[in-house]
Structures are given as structure tokens and as C-alpha cells.
Amino acid sequence: MMTGIVNSFFSSALIIILIFADYIRKYNTDSFQRKLYTYILISVFLGMASDFFYIILTGKPGKTVTDLLYLVNTVYFIFQIGAYYFVVVFIDYTAYRSLPRSRIFICIVFWILAAHLMLLTLNLKYHFYFYISGDNRFVQGNWYIIRVLVSYAVIPISLVDLFCSKHLLQKSQISLIVFFSFFVGLGAAMDYIFISTSLIWPCLSGALLYLYFFIIQSDLKIDSLTGLGNRYSFNEFINHLTRENTKKSYHIAIIDMDGMKNINDTLGHLEGDKALRDIAAIMKGVIRHSDFIARYGGDEFVLAVRAEYDIEKLLTRIQQAISLQNEKNIRLYKLKISYGCAIFTTNSGQSIEVFLRHVDRLMYQQKSERHRNVRLV
């Protein structure tokens, strides 16, 4: 029995170590996501390690063993809860991609962890959560149910978050939430009914492996320079439009940076990269989460907005944000864009390739008119 438990711990720990070792070597444009996932891995590993030492020490005689059992159980409860709540923050960030929202969420998590740490510290004296019996075994206290509720409140939180943001999520993201909730729920049942955690860790490490594959798949769709969607993401979006069985209308705009060749030729390609990142940051700061935006290629971007929204107002806000950026005189040049825009309706017999060529021509017409007006002035 003990051999099986030890093997379970070591196999789970090995998965976590391998994920961590591979992940820290990868480049990820989303530094917040990177830190968040790293916190999750570290919390799970420390929780797993403390639980492993509890299994090894339990039932062995001695006052020192008693003190160590109190310590490792306290550490376990802190990092187990930390891991679960950080996963919830990760899922919420995946849905909303809002740093301010996620930072508020993290502050709430830290307050929960701080309050729980205080209760666990008081438990060392009053033993209302748990205590170690005379034969050095874990025994649930009268208030142990509070610990269970705090630990596994993440399940309803995740499901409520899923319900509130389901219109923003893709199928893969919904699967992620359901997958995580299922395994945490399974762990909760085993934890409370059997007072055993040896089967939680294979389940949780499997969930983290699934989460890692989700991160890798998401990164494949991100342009490493700008942090926007890349051509793969754009192609996936276009394929979605062409497979749509119902009629849905979208404003689709192709946005091109003016003067990009001149920046590259006079100031160098590194400065050109900064210009692209500036424009990308401006657009990310203006668009809604429900809007689609990707780097189409070179210095061109594609923006898609549902037809019920006014894309002209959105493009005006982008232009205004660019003007504010230019007024700061951060760069040696002024950022400028040209764009073409039209409405595409799915399942209407309209060719998306022909449509995009039409929008591209509209963009170049605007660019030509602007250059002509500049020469006339």
C-alpha cells in the first residue's frame, strides 16, 4: 500500500518538475500568464511535498514527529488552497484578458490565504481545524468543514465565472474550466470522505498537464512581437467564418501602418519593431474582448467586430489614442495608420478571399488619398 502511495507521489512530482523545467525555457509574450502558471506549479509542488512528508511521518512515535506533522499539514493546507485559487485566477484571466481585473482577483486570493494562515496558526494552539493524536495521526477538528469549504469554494467560483463569461470563451477554454472543476471536485470528495490525498495528486498533475497543453496551443496563435493574434490565429478565424451555417455580419478592417519602410530604412528594424509594438499596445487597449484582432502580416493588422457594434467609433478611438501617443514625443517619428473597412456576412455565398482583397484595396485607397492630400498641402 505504502509503495503504491509513494509511487503516486513520485510520478505526480515528476510530471510537475518536467512541466516546470520545459516551461521556464519557453518564451511567452504574456508575462502575467507566465508568472501565474509558475505560481501554480510551485504551489502544487510544495503542497505535494508537504503531503508526502505527512504520509512518511504519520504513525511514527516521538514529540519531534508530532511537531513536524503539525508543520507539514499547515504547509499543505496553505499551498493546496493557493494552487486551487491561482488556477481560478488563471481561468478568469484566460476568459477576460484583463490585467486590472486579475490583479484585483489576486489581491482577494492573498487576503484569503492570509486569513487562512492566521486560522492555521491559531489551530496550532486550539486545534479547531485538526490535531495530531497521541499516536501521531491526523484527526479532523470540529471546524474542519471550514477548511474544506475554503479549499473547494473554487469549484462554484469557477462554474459561476464560466456562466458569466461563457459568451467570451472558446470551446477549449470551457473544457479547461470543466476539466479543472471535475478533478478538484473529485479531490474534495476523496479528501473529505476518505481523509486521504494520495489520489488527489495524480488527478491534479493531470489537470496541470492539460493546462500546459492549453498554454502551448494558445501560444501558437500569438504573434511573438506584438502579442496579438498571428497569421495562424487569423486563418483559424477565417475558417470559422467560412464554416458558419447561420448568417452573421462582421465589420472587418485591414489596418496598415504608414511610413513603416521609412522607419526601418532610417532608424533600423529594431525601431520598426518598437513601432509595431506601440500600435499593437494601443489597439489592445481600445478594443473589446469580444473583438478579434491579429497581425495580418508585416505592418498590417486585421480587426473584426460584430456588425451590431460601430467599428467607425472604435477606429476613431484608435486614431485618438495614436494621437495622444504622438503628443508624448516618445519616438523620433509619428505613428500613423490607414485602413479599409467593409461588412462580411457569413453563409451568404460571399467569398472571404475576394472580400479581403476588396478591403485591402479600400485601405490602399485611403492611404493614397492621404498621401495626395499631404502633397497638395
How far apart CA 356 and CA 234 sit, in angstroms, is 12
Q: What is the mean pLDDT of residues 317-335?
A: 90
Is pTM, for the whole model, over 0.85?
Answer: no
Q: Where in the chain is the domain with CATH 3.30.70.270?
A: 231-376
Tell me, letter by letter, the H, E, C secondary structure of 233-295.
HHHHHHHHHHHCCCCCEEEEEEEEECCHHHHHHHHCHHHHHHHHHHHHHHHHHHCCCCCEEEE
Each residue's pLDDT tens digit, 173-225: 667 667 776 766 666 666 556 655 566 777 778 778 888 887 787 778 888 88
Distances (CA, A) of 59 to 25, 151, 213, 227: 41, 26, 39, 53
Q: Above 60 in pLDDT, residue 52?
A: yes
| SS3 state at 338 | strand
Contact in structure between 43 and 86 (CB atoms under 8 Å): yes
List the single range of 13-27, 52-66, 178-192, 353-367 with lowest mean pLDDT. 178-192
> Which of the listed ranges 22-36, 160-174, 203-217, 218-232 does the model predict with the highest average pLDDT?
218-232
Query: Across 321-371, where does the E strand assignment appear?
Result: 337-345
- What confidence score (pLDDT) does residue 170 get? 61
**pLDDT exceeding 90 applies to what percent of the chain?**
19
Torsion sign across C-alpha atoms 224, 90, 108, 51? negative
**Interval 309-319 mean pLDDT:** 89
Torsion of CA 250, 337, 256, 241, to 10 degrees: -10
Q: How many Cβ atoms sit within 10 Å of the Cβ of residue 194? A: 10
Looking at residue 245, its pLDDT comes to 85
Domain with CATH 1.20.1070 in the chain: 2-219
The fold of the 2-219 domain, in CATH, is Rhopdopsin 7-helix transmembrane proteins (1.20.1070)
**Residue 131 bridge partners (DSSP):** 139
3-state percent breakdown (helix, strand, coil) of the chain, nearest 5: 70, 10, 20
- CA distances to 6, 182, 249 from 361, in Å: 65, 50, 20
Which pLDDT does position 376 carry in this prediction? 47
Is the pLDDT assigned to residue 295 strictly greater than 60? yes
For the domain made up of 231-376, give the CATH fold: Alpha-Beta Plaits (3.30.70)
Contacts of 330 (CB under 8 A, 6+ apart): none
